[in-house]
Structure 1
């Protein structure tokens, strides 16, 4: 079984750092079902390719742990012993290859990189090729599963025999994916979807497979249009397990909707572009916030108004952030975030990095003092305008982090939304939505009052007439300036 991952991000050889594999060496790993090899057939500053080759040993496969006993799914019937050796498992990508990905590229799947942490959190140009993939549902299904994740999909059916075209196509495809994606996301997509397309697993599917699925599907599976099919196939059509997984995915969707409640997706109504390579605005917004935090070198970060915890998940996956605190007024949301991040299952060292505190942002809270940075991502528009001075005093005047990142909708962009009535806000809970001039005026006044400098940028496609869909202000504390006292609470 073979899969290759290539990048043209320069220097392209940084792919070796992300995969924790030196391009000048061949690497081998023993698996329960064979031997996995990692090779780099090309490694130049312009383009680098890593190849994972799984050499399946039929003898090991026949005795692999978890095959199941007689009568269990995955067990070979007694009268088909030859089936253990005469099959396509040595050649066609399947759950065997997904298991090898999980073992060989463990840190890359988690999105961690000791040597290139910033790059691990960055979307880079990638090309993935699986030359032989068993695909129950054909090339069309491969497109339905990968295209919503930002990939350009080329799936070519492999004929049964090129000499006899009248025999038609086999159940295998030659799959190529191209897109600008974080490497960890790409590997998690493959880890889940390879066995889904194969629609079979080489081991007994136990209840802990639900956690594996939800962990690998964090940030994309809950909103995937084919999440039902993916869940059922990944869990080998075990109805009880699939029901539990789908219920947990429904809860995830409820949680993920909370921190970013825009009713319309700005990118979907923006200028024409290749939709297969465009990331949702919510994803781009979080990436912009992470980039701003990286720019100032923050390590101890407050996510104020964290809602469902989407940004907290991104922060937790980035090892540069040593202390992460999610703050929200809703105790129920914080309980859901704790379940979503699976804090009770994390090792003590990782669990110690993440805290969840209930607090109202319009009141001073001594616990919030002393942090490198604070984020107000799509928060201020949910606050009644008369309470904004209290929020500014609590955050900028009392907590006084070194950096504050604020994002909010640009109301000028609303005219690009199909179906949004004139004067309507993007979400019914928005108390206001500001023009660029209004946001600039508010942010400048806050910066002057509390001793910060402020710089402005946008997130999403920058329309030449109405600007970007999201506005971003980056406040940095001016140490030499004495802040003006804010309003008492």
Structure 2
């Protein structure tokens, strides 16, 4: 398969600097499944064309057990189009042959990175699942002029009709870095297949190479679905991260539960430290943070070596993804990783994964539950999980008079209720009577006369 990139920028030979490939040399890059040959059919001041030609080892593809994503028939790994079309193998070649350009780097001429140039890209042959319309849906919103020639299945049998293969020419004035990022992602998207196993690392590739344009693309959901080979869990996580500025916050996390009228960072940090201290005030070896959000309390708990098992659970996959990143989970030493687990789950259904812990924390969680579902949470935590200690914090409704005239405005639009100190005390009393606990209620934050502290905390101890 062949990819050519042509520019008429003056001087056109600047393309060689951007690609880090000298126009006078023919170069090769090992791909593992074959080789990529890089050469310049044309290289002068007026026009410069760089060609990327792939020579794929079909036997190597089979031996590596890569195959294609489909399984239409038993011999597909031997009989397929992979050596002859632009596919995810081409994306892999782009990332290896033009790594510096794809990452927006140019050591010798750094000013060229941000320079928009007129480009013409030709792909021979591109498999398109969805026909010519799909080409326009994907490349059209990015500003490309598209010319597509569809090939028939067999010129000896024209009655068989057209194939899914196109020779595609794309023209636009843009930066080379942007152009390559479009090709890197959209080539396998057009093919709707990949030659390798897709895991969570593909989300990072998608977000990194799509930064600055994918989040604005009208077909971003379809792009994510195809790029991640229709793996629903991966696609959902990718979409929540792509659409983080477009969707309302629905995760249980106190950092977002406070309004700007609250001294959010100081109060939240103090609250987490107080909860951490309460959890560790008695000998405990295992703690579960129910509604862990982005993992701030978990991070505090990890600094205490006496804890051998720390689990964070949240209803939001996006929050857990952020928690993994902020905790630098992949970089933790083995002994630290063995202590830590992050799980996706809901507090309104019994979950045996949260049973057997010495202590549990619910930091600014209960107020996000509908009152009719609060009962289900109580049974899950205090009857089924039944830790020896439970620390619960929730906003104090009476304190709201400090930032609103009538005190009726709630701290966050996602709160389903907020309790006064009397209401919270009554709820704690019922929990103790029904499930066999004792509770101590404590204020968190600076107290105001007549209104109390911004946060109220209960420490439940199982009898």
Q: TM-score, normalised by structure 2?
A: 0.52
Give CA-to-partner distance per residue, 1:94-150, whole Å, 9 cap, x none. 111111111111110011101121111111100000021110001110111001111
Q: How does 1:32-431 map to 2 (within 5 A)?
A: 32-64=32-64, 67=66, 74=69, 80=74, 82-252=75-245
Partner of 2:30: 30
Aligned counterparts of 1:164 and 1:180: Cα–Cα separation in 2: 40
Aligned counterparts of 1:240 and 1:13: Cα–Cα separation in 2: 45
Partner of 1:428: none
Give CA-to-partner distance per residue, 1:387-444, whole Å, 9 cap, x none. xxxxxxxxxxxxxxxxxxxxxxxxxxxxxxxxxxxxxxxxxxxxxxxxxxxxxxxxxx
Partner of 1:381: none
SS of the counterpart of 1:162? Answer: coil
SS of the counterpart of 1:170? Answer: strand
Give CA-to-partner distance per residue, 1:263-307, whole Å, 9 cap, x none. xxxxxxxxxxxxxxxxxxxxxxxxxxxxxxxxxxxxxxxxxxxxx
SS of the counterpart of 1:147? Answer: helix
Aligned counterparts of 1:104 and 1:74: Cα–Cα separation in 2: 24
Aligned counterparts of 2:70 and 2:128: Cα–Cα separation in 1: 21
SS of the counterpart of 2:121? Answer: strand
Q: CA deviation at 1:75?
A: 8.2
Give CA-to-partner distance per residue, 1:154-179, whole Å, 9 cap, x none. 12211112344332210111111000
Q: CA deviation at 1:253?
A: 5.1
Aligned counterparts of 1:145 and 1:75: Cα–Cα separation in 2: 22
Contact persistence 1:223–1:253 (CA under 8 A): no
Q: CA deviation at 1:21?
A: 0.2
Aligned counterparts of 1:236 and 1:116: Cα–Cα separation in 2: 38
Partner of 2:399: none
Aligned counterparts of 2:164 and 2:76: Cα–Cα separation in 1: 18
- After superposition, the Cα gap between the structure-2 partners of 1:343 and 1:215, relative to the gap in structure 1 and judged at 3 Å, is farther
- After superposition, the Cα gap between the structure-2 partners of 1:75 and 1:92, relative to the gap in structure 1 and judged at 3 Å, is closer
Contact persistence 1:35–1:54 (CA under 8 A): yes
Aligned counterparts of 2:8 and 2:157: Cα–Cα separation in 1: 38
Q: CA deviation at 1:86?
A: 2.3
Aligned counterparts of 2:149 and 2:216: Cα–Cα separation in 1: 27
Contact persistence 1:222–1:253 (CA under 8 A): no
Partner of 1:470: none
SS of the counterpart of 2:240? Answer: helix
Q: CA deviation at 1:83?
A: 3.0
- After superposition, the Cα gap between the structure-2 partners of 1:22 and 1:205, relative to the gap in structure 1 and judged at 3 Å, is same
Aligned counterparts of 1:5 and 1:246: Cα–Cα separation in 2: 31
Gaps in structure 1 of 5+ consecutive residues: 256-335, 346-489
Q: How large is the RMSD of aligned CA atoms in angstroms?
A: 2.5
Aligned counterparts of 2:142 and 2:209: Cα–Cα separation in 1: 13
Aligned counterparts of 1:194 and 1:92: Cα–Cα separation in 2: 10
Give CA-to-partner distance per residue, 1:221-279, whole Å, 9 cap, x none. 01101001100000000000000000001115579xxxxxxxxxxxxxxxxxxxxxxxx
Partner of 2:18: 18
Aligned counterparts of 2:69 and 2:87: Cα–Cα separation in 1: 14
Aligned counterparts of 1:344 and 1:115: Cα–Cα separation in 2: 37
Q: CA deviation at 1:50?
A: 0.5
SS of the counterpart of 1:193? Answer: helix
Q: CA deviation at 1:53?
A: 0.8
Q: CA deviation at 1:44?
A: 1.0
Q: TM-score, normalised by structure 1?
A: 0.49
Contact persistence 1:127–1:177 (CA under 8 A): yes
Gaps in structure 2 of 5+ consecutive residues: 249-318, 329-463
Aligned counterparts of 1:165 and 1:131: Cα–Cα separation in 2: 21
Q: CA deviation at 1:76?
A: 6.4
Contact persistence 1:160–1:167 (CA under 8 A): yes
Give CA-to-partner distance per residue, 1:186-244, whole Å, 9 cap, x none. 00000100000100110110011001001010001011010011000000000000000
- After superposition, the Cα gap between the structure-2 partners of 1:160 and 1:32, relative to the gap in structure 1 and judged at 3 Å, is same
